[in-house]
A and B are shown apart, each in its own frame.
Chain A
Amino acid sequence: ERSHASLIPEEGKSRAPTGLPAAAHRQSHELLRDFETTLLHMFGLQRRPRPSRSAVVPQYLLDLYRLQSGEAEEAGAASATAGPHDAGFEYPERSTSRANTVRGFHHEEHLEQLPLEGSAAGESSSPSFRFLFNLSSIPEEELLSTAELRIYRERVDEEEEETGGDEDLHRINVYEILKAPHASQLITRLLDTRLVRHNSTRWESFDVSPAVLRWTRERLPNHGLAVEVLHVGGASSPHQGRHVRVSRSLHQKPGEDWGQLRPLLVTFGHDGKGHPLTRRAKR
Chain B
Amino acid sequence: SPKQRGRKRNRNCRRHALYVDFSDVNWNDWIVAPPGYQAYYCHGDCPFPLADHLNSTNHAIVQTLVNSVNTNIPKACCVPTELSAISMLYLDEHDKVVLKNYQEMVVEGCGCR
- By a beta-carbon cutoff of 8 Å, the part of chain A in contact with chain B is 2-7, 36, 42-52, 54-58, 61-62, 64-66, 68-69, 71, 100-105, 136-137, 273-277
**B94 interface neighbour in A4, A48, A137, A277, Cβ under 8 Å:** A137
Q: Is B52 an interface residue (CB 8 A)?
A: no
14 contacts between A and B (CB under 8 A): A4-B29, A7-B25, A45-B93, A49-B90, A49-B92, A50-B93, A51-B91, A51-B95, A55-B91, A61-B97, A61-B99, A64-B99, A69-B86, A277-B99
How far does the Cβ of B26 sit from chain A's closest Cβ, in whole Å?
A: 4
A69 to B96, CA, bound (A): 20
Kindly report which residue of chain B lies nearest to residue A2, judged by CB atoms.
B26
Additional A-B contact list (18), CB under 8 Å, known A3-B29, A57-B32, A71-B34: A6-B25, A6-B26, A7-B25, A7-B27, A47-B93, A49-B92, A49-B93, A51-B30, A55-B97, A62-B32, A65-B33, A65-B89, A69-B87, A103-B96, A103-B98, A274-B85, A274-B104, A276-B101
- By a beta-carbon cutoff of 8 Å, the part of chain B in contact with chain A is 25-27, 29-30, 32-34, 85-104
How far does the Cβ of B11 sit from chain A's closest Cβ, in whole Å?
A: 26
How far does the Cβ of B62 sit from chain A's closest Cβ, in whole Å?
A: 32
Asked whether, in the complex, the Cβ of B95 is within 8 Å of the Cβ of A52, the reply is yes
Which label, helix, strand, loop or mixed, suits the secondary structure of the A interface?
loop
Q: A100-B101, A277-B99 are in contact. Are A49 and B91 (CB under 8 A)?
A: yes
A259 to B90, CA, bound (A): 17
A14 to B32, CA, bound (A): 27
Q: A55-B91, A55-B95 are in contact. Are A101 and B101 (CB under 8 A)?
A: yes
Asked whether, in the complex, the Cβ of A275 is within 8 Å of the Cβ of B101, the reply is yes
Asked whether, in the complex, the Cβ of B26 is within 8 Å of the Cβ of A5, the reply is yes
- Residues in B with CB closer than 8 Å to A62 are 32-33, 89
Query: Which 6 pairs show the lowest CB-CB distances between chains A and B?
Result: A274-B103, A49-B30, A137-B94, A102-B99, A100-B101, A65-B89
- Residues in B with CB closer than 8 Å to A55 are 91, 95, 97
Q: A45-B93, A275-B85 are in contact. Are A68 and B99 (CB under 8 A)?
A: yes
